[in-house]
Chain A
Amino acid sequence: MAVDTKIDPGWAWQPFTPSDTQPWDRSLAAHLYRRAGFGADLQLLDEAVAKSPHDVVDELIAINLETSDFRAVADSLAQTLLAGGDPMKLSAAWVYRLLFTPAQLLEKTTLFWHGHFATGADKVKDAAMMWRQNQLLRRHALGDFQALTQAIAKDPAMLIYLDSTSNRKSHPNENFARELMELFCLGEGHYSETDVVELARCFTGWEIRRDRFRKNRYQHDAGEKSILGQRGAFDGEQAVAIVVGRDDMPRFICRKLARYFLADELELTDDLIEIPATTMRENNLQIAPVLKQMLSSNLFYSSHARARKIKSPVELVVGMLRGLNGTTNSQLVARGLRDIGQGLFYPPNVKGWDGGRAWINSSTVLGRANLFEAILSNEDTKFEGQSLTQSLADHGIHDVDHAIDHFERCLMAVPINPATRRQLTSQFDSLGKDHEKTYRRLLHAVCSLPEFQLA
């Protein structure tokens, strides 16, 4: 990896202080909201600029639970849609939540865990089960990683997805044991094959019957096990605690969090990642303090992180809509996200989404542009509850040039390449007869640009 110079860990995680060369302005606030959430409209940006960056992060962390009003609406929406039993409806209900939630960081982190503890409705099939898991992830998203992992270890959807619905003494099922170490907590190379075999014995007797988790005491292997250097007659809970308690775990999780929140391709050396890992350890494995440190850091606001991520499909679409206060048909968005590789409740496999450059290929590049076309030509798509023209006019925007400025300000991590911009202005020079159509085409074009794909 060729990031210019070695990053000084001491400097990297120090809280960022605005300066004359790097003032706390709309552009930095927009960076924060793009990463800690899905974007902000101008009003929210201006409110943020009026505060200090630390206060804004504190607030994002503090509203780590949705207001009870919004939660009631979003929950009952999902609940009602479960009646049809179609996980795609649930997917649309999550899109609705992403579009309207006041607790952006909570939702962004819930999506992180969905990719981390990847479980796919194409295999689980039961929408209600997927919904329960989703609630579980949301409940624990910013909390104690130990509690989250203990809960996920007993989650029916997860165990069905990993073919681990039965686990008998005579045939320990190694699937969950392996993924717990490889994908969920430690990473490859931090455990041995013997650990997998021994760990699997701890989970014997854990099974899913009639869609519920239960322990079959007759199938539990009560003998002594030796896992990761510890010895004892461990049961499943103790086994999870041992894996989660490993020194490697916080480094593994913090690396993944840093790739998700900071930059796709940052070289995260042991030195560099040890500091947030220590934060995680010192806070009893709570996630919120780690995120607070990351999102307030020098590194986060530096060129190592700014525009150093490729937007995921969710960030791309939800970001555009939230940035312009847009509303649309959530089902259209849910289907579209699936088409371009990030179906909610439909991760590609047990490893979740790889992210970064893997989002992009010739099919998704066209798919991204076409999804924006579908959204912007849909008559249910509105901005601030009205036409795009009217919404722009409310911001005092009446021509293409200012509209491009506005889109850049609200939506983009890097400015549009000057040549492209010239081409855009000449192409949309006259607003023509149908202003609305022109503005929507312009927005479609802007959203399809390579620059737009950066977060």
Chain B
Amino acid sequence: MTVQALSPFRCSNRSLAVFALSVFLASPTLAEDAKQGDRRTAAELLPASVVAYVEVPRLGDVIELVADHPLRQSIQDMPAVRAIGSSDQVRPLRDGIAAFEGGMGRPWDEALTVLTDGGIHLAFDAPTQGAALLIQSSSREQLERFRGVVLALSQLGQGNFGIARQADYRGFTAYALNDNIKLALVDHWFLMTNKPELGKSIIDRYLDGDKHSLAASDSFTAAMAGAGDASMKAYVDVETIRDAGVAPKLYAGKTENVAAEALFGGIVANLAHTPSAVATLDIDPSGVRLTLATPHQSEWETGREYFFGEDSAASAPPLLQVPHQLLAISTHRDLSQMWLRAPDLMTDKANEDLAQADTNLTTFFSNRDFGEDILGSLRPGIQLVVQRQSFDAASPQPAIKLPAFAMQFTMRTPEETTREFRRVFQNLVGFINVVGAMQGQPQLDQDFEQTDSATLLTATYVPPREEDPLAAVPINYNFSPTLAFAGERMIVSSSTQLARTLIGLSAPSESKVKQPNTVAVLNADALADTLRDNKQQLVAQNMLEKGHGPDQANAEIDVLFDILALFKDVTVELDVDDGQLKLTTEVQLQSK
């Protein structure tokens, strides 16, 4: 055997020699010519009762893309990656790769590419509770070697060498990995399953064909057609799973968590009705995009119009754009409606909590009803922006530097609402000052700015009177709460600076084109900068948590920055129209 010669890693491990021997022993003799059935797709081999199906059509392309990626070198050059590469922790992985290469007779990436050039397919069948793995390859020789590797690995794991148990079915030999899992080569297919019935039915379909295979399912074919050319696609028969009583709480439609309802309530409503769901993963040099799509009908939205708008018409305002932007979210949520609908949407316990919150909030809002009057005075479009904050040299530098954040709303009746909120803001600042004074907190100083187009109510923490070398500047100095009005826009901001920036942007125009229901973008650069502003804190935290010395802690935190530097941004988008609900998550890499 030339196992070791073929391996790029010198692996003098004794178990490897044993392993190579057992590959030899386990490799059965071959091999018939390709058959008629080889032209069938995996879906044609699988029963229609499959409830979950995953397909990776061209693993080779993905391997090539990763191998040739411009960031690959910079990742390999990271000290942390080098340290891991030479550490003991990854020894099992290195040994595993060496064993695989030895068994396949070529480098791992090449072997995987050839082995899977007809696609990898994984399916779960509900009636048999069986899972099946189907790999199709143009190379019968690689398939056979792979079978040898799998059998040998399983024997190695069980410490039990020799010829695996086998049985024949319609001319194909099945080998038992253990009591449950069996594998067989079906011409150019590699088949592995935990249920013999499922395996036999696949072979039957391979030889005989079947009009009622998974490929004949309308919802499956429709879903797969929509998935197009993705690097990975998956299909789930939600209806069957739902009917089987899996995770009943998810479909009950009532949550205890108010924030979760506001964020995901509509998705939960959809899952309670949709027949199926499709996931696709697209990988290209610029990044990774995961799309989850389900059929959608507007009659499923009853009770959650606050989320979808009337007839799925919800259209989020455009994303806000400011310098050093960390995060921006735009969404359509009619919070007033959600608040008033809460008894239908949330559990009794959550509603009791809300009722108590109502008592407290109404106190602040000078006896106006919070759900009806306060939330009701705002249109459903909500824009949130988070910005890395810079502090000018003259003002106190808080020891922990938080980003600034702001929300922009549109008022239905600006005249009235402006007056209302102005008073509430003043009340609130006064209240914070009184409570703060009792707790020895710094005091807020209120001020007022009027520009041509806007009014700003600002509150700034009075700087500490004496500089105390021992006392850190408290976290309060991150905030200069500001309420701003410009036309129909109302801006609630944690910092005056950010509020001024937002005032300067133009008002969102009524878009003719329907926008997504919700969209969010997280920028890695600004996130890294914000974390870097607090590096000392992160290092201290690391020392406490890991028991590291300062140098070791610094090195660990630098790894975090190295990793963040690879990314550009993450975008999440929820699109709903009559027919489809689609949730897209896209991770973009730095293009250097």
Contact = CB atoms under 8 A, between A and B. Distances in A.
Question: Taking the complex as a whole, does A directly touch B, i.e. does some CB pair lie under 8 Å apart?
Answer: yes
Interface of A: 73, 77, 79-85, 89, 92-93, 96, 99, 125-126, 128, 131-132, 210-211, 327-331, 380-382
B544 to A, nearest CB: 4
B170 to A, nearest CB: 41
A126 B537 CA distance: 19
Interface in B132-189: none
Given A80-B540, A211-B440, A99 B470 contact: no
Contact of A85 (B474, B543, B549, B550): B474
A352 to B, nearest CB: 25
Given A80-B540, A83-B400, A83-B537, A330 B547 contact: yes
A41 B547 CA distance: 17
B471 interface: yes
Nearest to B540: A80
B11 to A, nearest CB: 23
Contact of A132 (B465, B470, B540): B470
B475 interface: yes
B347 to A, nearest CB: 32
B545 A82 contact: no
Given A80-B537, A329-B547, A85 B475 contact: yes
Nearest to B441: A85
B374 interface: no
Interface of B: 398-400, 439-440, 465, 468, 470-475, 536-537, 539-540, 543-550
A328 B547 contact: yes
Given A83-B399, A331-B545, A73 B550 contact: yes
B470 A128 contact: yes
A interface majority secondary structure: helix
Contacts of A96: 543-544, 547
B544 A93 contact: yes
A57 to B, nearest CB: 28
Contact of B547 (A81, A84, A126, A327): A327
Contacts of A83: 398-400, 472-475, 537
Given A328-B547, A331-B545, A81 B470 contact: no
Contacts of A381: 547
B586 to A, nearest CB: 33
B398 A92 contact: no
Nearest to B541: A81
Nearest to A131: B470
22 contacts: A77-B543, A80-B399, A80-B539, A80-B540, A82-B399, A82-B472, A83-B400, A83-B472, A83-B473, A84-B475, A84-B537, A126-B440, A128-B471, A210-B465, A211-B440, A327-B546, A327-B548, A328-B547, A329-B544, A329-B547, A330-B545, A382-B547
B437 to A, nearest CB: 12
Contacts of A81: 537, 540, 544
B540 A77 contact: yes
A100 to B, nearest CB: 8
Contacts of A328: 547
A96 B544 CA distance: 7
Contacts of B472: 79-80, 82-83, 85, 128
A380 B540 contact: no
A128 B468 CA distance: 10
Given A77-B540, A80-B536, A83-B399, A380 B470 contact: no
Contacts of B471: 82, 128
Contacts of B550: 73
